[in-house]
Amino acid sequence: KQPWRVAVVGNQQARQTIAAAMRPVWEEYVATSASGQRPFVLGRSIDGIETTPVPNALIDDIATVPVVLAIAADLGQIALMDGQLDRPPITGGASIYPFCWNLLLSARAHGLGGVLTTFLSRREPDVAEVLGLPERHALAATIFLGYPQHQPTRLTRRGVERSEEHTSELQSH
């Protein structure tokens, strides 16, 4: 049993609500990064960071994104292997995020491109109702799928020459 649900967000009003919720998170992220800090680090306040509007195609053009998915985890069913430690648990996404990655890989195999983001998760209480988020569920990710303008193919690289000196240097680290 996999304790998550996937919702396809097709309703344009719901998409606009999502975009409005993501906008300030995106702007806080950009402003915090520009200040030289790592955004949204546990225990670090971002109060006082001045934000400005910054374009983001996923947010700005959410109405035209072919597929918007919300991935929610059932908190009553997630195995939190580190849930009893004296810190916030991090293992709860151990099965959800590989599922999301597999979804992106499957989409890629069908000619689609995708983006996974957790920006909307920061504003979960603001969007829970519009997403129909069930009780005891947390918004783990939002995935945007569409048709890429260019599909990257296998990269060509020059071979790496391994010398004994280089190999021993790598082993010492």
**Cα gap 7→131, rounded to integer Å:** 8
pLDDT of 102 strictly over 70: yes
pLDDT of 163 strictly over 70: no
The pLDDT, as a whole number, for residue 61 is 95
Can you give the length of the chain in residues? 173
173 pLDDT band, cuts 50/70/90, is low
Contact by Cβ (8 Å): 144, 68 = yes
pLDDT of 7 strictly over 60: yes
Give, for 73, the enclosing helix (H) or strand (E): strand 67-74
- What's the average model confidence in pLDDT over 69-73? 97
User: At 73, phi and psi to the nearest 5?
Assistant: -110, 135
76 pLDDT band, cuts 50/70/90, is very high
Question: How, if at all, do strands 4-8 and 67-74 pair?
Answer: antiparallel
Indicate the average pLDDT of the chain. Answer: 89
Burial 62-75 (b: 16+ CB within 10 A, else e): beebeebbbbbbbe
pLDDT of 48 strictly over 80: no
Identify the CA nearest to 10 among candidates 145, 166, 172: 145
Task: Report pLDDT digits (tens) over 22-41.
Answer: 999 999 999 999 988 899 88
Identify the CA nearest to 12 among candidates 65, 77, 49, 50: 65
